[in-house]
């Protein structure tokens, strides 16, 4: 089984907060855990965050992780017209490629209509992970308009569930397993005025749970990879 840890690098729980405690406090903890576990991950960052926190992006790239694109700003691309989407993606690619040869993409809010896939192909992207099985359980990895579409396997709050619930859900996931988390989950936001799923069991609990999740898959012999390492030929042409 192949497991892909993916991290959406953005401000804290958009659009509810404008703070970036996740970048300052959560990212170092997350990078430390990945180093301790000796596994790579894919970090989908917005260009806006990369511009504000270049040292954080440099550090994740220097640690051997893949840098992917999470848009220019964290806005809904399904509500924008094609020209606006083309501008957002081109700007994001220009900024992020100063750090890394970025070819993987995930849209903010996991909202990316199929009609925009060609814009990714035109801008040198190869893979999109904007779909999610918790929204559409029937979605499968596939090749569309020149882009390999590889859905996220489960929503991030699932990983923060108590172990009995979490492990029963993780046991049902099928290869390729794409997990996604956010740096702000590793900051204690439980007393903040945020939507329930943004603050539920955040902080040390979320951090311990990610460590347990990594162990869960390691115990089952899983291989951890960056998204760019996925051999998409198996999904057909």
Q: Helices 204-219 and 27-37 sit at what angle, rounded to 10 degrees?
A: 20
Is there a contact between 65 and 100 (Cβ–Cβ < 8 Å)? no
Instruction: Based on the shown chain and the rule CB under 5 A, indicate whether residue 88 belongs to the binding site for Zn ion.
Output: no
**Residue 10 Cβ vs Zn ion, minimum distance, rounded to whole Å:** 5
State which of residues 3, 6, 7, 8 lies at the interface with Zn ion (CB under 5 A).
8
**Residue 194 Cβ vs Zn ion, minimum distance, rounded to whole Å:** 14
**Residue 125 Cβ vs Zn ion, minimum distance, rounded to whole Å:** 17
Please name which of 42, 72, 74, 47 lies closest in space to residue 60, comparing C-alpha atoms: 42
- 149, β-bridge pairs: 128, 142
**Residue 169 Cβ vs Zn ion, minimum distance, rounded to whole Å:** 21
Q: In Å, how far are 7, 24, 81, 111, 175 from 70, measured between CA atoms?
A: 10, 18, 18, 11, 23
Half-sphere exposure of 40 (CA within 13 A, CB side): 17
CA torsion sign for 210, 212, 213, 215 is positive
**Residue 92 Cβ vs Zn ion, minimum distance, rounded to whole Å:** 13
Binders of Zn ion among residues 159 to 178 (CB under 5 A) are none
Measured from the CB atom, is 14 or 217 closer to Zn ion? 14
> By rule CB under 5 A, what count of residues binds Zn ion?
3
**Residue 46 Cβ vs Zn ion, minimum distance, rounded to whole Å:** 8
Binders of Zn ion among residues 93 to 152 (CB under 5 A) are 108
Is there a contact between 152 and 129 (Cβ–Cβ < 8 Å)? yes
Measured from the CB atom, is 129 or 213 closer to Zn ion? 129
SS3 assignment, position 143? strand
State which of residues 4, 7, 10, 103 lies at the interface with Zn ion (CB under 5 A).
10
Measured from the CB atom, is 10 or 228 closer to Zn ion? 10
Is there a contact between 119 and 84 (Cβ–Cβ < 8 Å)? no
Q: Which residues bind Zn ion (CB under 5 A)?
A: 8, 10, 108
């Amino acid at each position: 089984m192949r497991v892909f840890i993916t991290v959406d690098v953005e401000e804290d729980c958009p659009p509810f907060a404008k703070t970036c405690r996740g970048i300052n406090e959560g990212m170092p903890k997350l990078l430390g855990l990945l180093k301790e576990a000796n596994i790579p991950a894919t970090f989908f960052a917005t260009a806006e965050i990369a511009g504000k926190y270049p040292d954080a992006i440099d550090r994740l790239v220097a640690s051997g992780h893949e840098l992917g694109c999470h848009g220019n700003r964290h806005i809904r691309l399904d509500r924008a017209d094609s020209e606006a989407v083309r501008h957002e993606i081109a700007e994001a690619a220009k900024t992020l490629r100063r750090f890394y040869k970025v070819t993987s993409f995930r849209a903010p809010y996991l909202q990316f209509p199929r009609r925009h896939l060609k814009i990714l192909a035109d801008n040198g992207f190869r893979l999109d992970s904007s779909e999610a099985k918790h929204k559409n359980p029937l979605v499968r990895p596939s090749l569309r308009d020149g882009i390999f579409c590889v859905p996220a396997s489960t929503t991030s709050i699932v990983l923060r569930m108590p172990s009995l619930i979490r492990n029963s859900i993780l046991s049902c996931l099928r290869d390729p397993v794409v997990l996604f988390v956010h740096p702000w989950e590793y900051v204690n936001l439980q007393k903040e005025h945020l939507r329930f799923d943004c603050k539920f069991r955040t902080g040390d609990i979320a951090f311990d749970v990610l460590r347990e999740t990594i162990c869960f898959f390691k115990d089952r012999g899983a291989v951890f990879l960056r998204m760019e390492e996925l051999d998409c030929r198996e999904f057909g042409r």
